[in-house]
Structure 1
Amino acid sequence: MAAAHQGTYAGDVSPQLAWQWVQAGEAVLVDVRSDAEREWVGFVPGAVPVAWKQWPGMAMNPEFDERIRQAASEGQKLVLLCRSGVRSIAAAKRATELGFEAYNILEGFEGDPDAHAHRGLKGGWRHHGLPWRQN
């Protein structure tokens, strides 16, 4: 079940629920990580790449609004994925302002860092065994 988030965006969902919605055709998965992150760390096949911020310098993507509008089909939810579930909150808020039903995917692609500051072992899309690839 999706957790509502104070009206600023539709809510937070687990990676598993987001994937269920995508598979059922109820949602579009939007990966808001930078092009460099998707290229070097991995990506979800079929996800729509729309960077919230872009490398180098993590500057705001001036094409975000236009690309989000192109990504969504009428009546479909947006589920937004970033590295750890932080940038995707900001992106979900903006998508909501643009008129979409937008959700943040909790834990992101890589999850939280562990005691050794390594990601990928404590939650995240990959950790849960959901589809992903690496170049």
Structure 2
Amino acid sequence: MSAVDTILQQAHERAVASNLPYQGALTPAEAAALLAAHPAAKLVDVRTHAEWQFVGFVPDSEMNEWKQYPKMELNPGFLAALQATVDPQAVVMFLCRTGARSHDAAALAAANGYSNAFNILEGFEGDKNAAGQRGQVNGWKAAGLAWTQG
């Protein structure tokens, strides 16, 4: 079994164990490894434009807001934009700040024909530390994975 297959299998087992409505749940490190090793894999960042600009983002990710700042209302064009940019057969990984919005986006994608939809656990910034700050406990940034400032 290849490294990609192993990662996908572990993510799928997490989804089954948690009764998730999509293919799998990835750690940030697993998602980064998939992006590096699987040329057809896509990362869709569902945070807001403000988050991309002020907090940072993963290079080469697709950016498609799940909720729109400042009212944080659902983006009515989310699914249409996803369908215009990501093949439904591709491995598609969804990322948000902590893993909540990306969970919802992965569920919507799976319900609309994306059979390889994955949520990235912990998100870009992860949980807050004792001082109430994100980006240090867990998540993409805390794992030391590639990102750039907006």
Both proteins in one fold, TM over 0.5: yes
CA distance, structure 1, for counterparts of residue 101 and residue 147 of structure 2: 19
In the alignment, which residue of structure 1 is the partner of 2:32?
A: 19
Structure with bigger gyration radius: 2
Task: Give the number of the structure whose residues are more often helix, by fraction.
Answer: 2
**Alpha-carbon shift at residue 75 of structure 1 (Å):** 2.9
Q: CA RMSD, aligned part only?
A: 1.2
Which secondary structure does the structure 1 equivalent of 2:59 belong to? coil
Q: TM-score, normalised by structure 1?
A: 0.94
Percent identical pairs in the alignment equals 41
Structure 2 gap ranges (5+): 1-9
CA distance, structure 1, for counterparts of residue 40 and residue 32 of structure 2: 10
Structure 1 gap ranges (5+): none
Task: Give the number of the structure whose residues are more often strand, by fraction.
Answer: 1
Which secondary structure does the structure 2 equivalent of 1:104 belong to? strand
Pair 1:108 & 2:128 matched: no
Q: Structure 1 segments of 4 or more deviating over 2 A?
A: none
**Alpha-carbon shift at residue 7 of structure 1 (Å):** 4.8
Give the stretch that moved more between structures: 14-23 or 100-109: 14-23
In the alignment, which residue of structure 2 is the partner of 1:123?
A: 138
Contact 2:88 2:113 in 1 (8 A): no
In the alignment, which residue of structure 2 is the partner of 1:79?
A: 93
In the alignment, which residue of structure 2 is the partner of 1:61?
A: 75
**Alpha-carbon shift at residue 71 of structure 1 (Å):** 2.4
Q: TM-score, normalised by structure 2?
A: 0.85
